Amino acid sequence: MNERSRYLKGAFVAIPSLFMLAMLVVPALGGLGASFNHRGPSLENYSALVHDPMFWRAALDNLILPIASLALELAAGLGLALMLTARGKRSAVVEVAAILPFAIPEIVILTIARYLLMPRGYVNGALEAFGMHGAAWLSPRGSLAMLSVAVVDAWHVTPIVMLMLIAGLQTIPQELYEAARLDGAGTLATFRHVTLPMLAPAIVGATVLRGIDALRIFSTVLVLTGAEAVPVLSTYAYGQWTDAQAPRVAMAAAMVLAMVVTIFALAGTLAVRRWASQPGASQ
């Protein structure tokens, strides 16, 4: 490597590093400092969080919602991935339809979902056309709103899970399926004893990646139900910043969310590494 390419390499590392420092690390440290500042160093902002029932609701929802959303995404993503990789059944129309929700801008898909689920929306209209009663899909009272948010969130990002699982499915050697067939294994047994174990690294990867993303859920909740019906930590922090004009409390809430995401990300990364290091875990 000559001197010029060494400089070039250094520049390629330095420029994004400086960008990250200026745009991510410095503001994050500023936020961390602000969260502990209340006319001097203090835990007052965190104490305010602890005493606010809405914060605890947001924290709880911030656990339930990602779990529900992730479960739906994995189930639907796996189903779609299996369908699209099944031999002789691939259809360009189905592939495009499966990927489309992820390709549509988030605000558009959320607005569509809102029009579908609002009290006089298309879903209730369809139900009533069949003689059934409409439901309060987004009502702040009851738990339907939580389910609606989880379904819409899953609908939007299932394609990314599906693509990850398709990539995983395509790495499974066909010989294994042939051997299973020769041994007389049926579809379910093949799925259970061949597909699922071989797909596990991809499932774990998708769970970690989407789990981190799901913990940071924000716009889906805000557009569908408003900040109060299904509060999560990000909307809680947003509300503290904008409505309550309490920026330091907002910073404290954001730090709690960042901590939760970091812990989950570290645990997920460790799980993936441990899985990968196990004999026979990878190809």
Query: Can you give the binding site for another protein, defined by CB under 8 A?
Result: 38-39, 44-45, 47-49, 51-55, 118-120, 136, 138-141, 225-229, 239, 242-246, 248-249
Q: Which is nearer to another protein, 46 or 78 (CB)?
A: 46
CA Rg value for the chain = 23
CA dist 135 and 230 (Å) reads: 17
Q: Which is nearer to another protein, 121 or 268 (CB)?
A: 121
- Least distance between another protein and beta carbon 209 (Å): 31
- Least distance between another protein and beta carbon 157 (Å): 24
CA dist 233 and 121 (Å) reads: 28
Q: Which is nearer to another protein, 45 or 207 (CB)?
A: 45
- Least distance between another protein and beta carbon 137 (Å): 12
* Cβ 79 vs Cβ 68: under 8 Å: no
Q: Which is nearer to another protein, 51 or 133 (CB)?
A: 51
Q: Which is nearer to another protein, 154 or 253 (CB)?
A: 253
- Least distance between another protein and beta carbon 21 (Å): 23
Q: Which is nearer to another protein, 98 or 150 (CB)?
A: 150
- Least distance between another protein and beta carbon 222 (Å): 10
Query: Would you give the DSSP letter of residue 134?
Result: P
User: In sequence order, what are the beta bridge partners of 41?
Assistant: 37
Q: How far is C-alpha 233 from the geometric centre of its chain's CA atoms? A: 14
14-36 per-residue burial string, b: 16 or more CB within 10 A, e: under 16: eeeeeeeeeeeeeeeeebeebbb
- The dihedrals phi and psi of 118, each to the nearest 5 degrees, come to -65, 165
- Least distance between another protein and beta carbon 152 (Å): 16
CA dist 108 and 113 (Å) reads: 9
Which tokens belong to 128? 């009533």
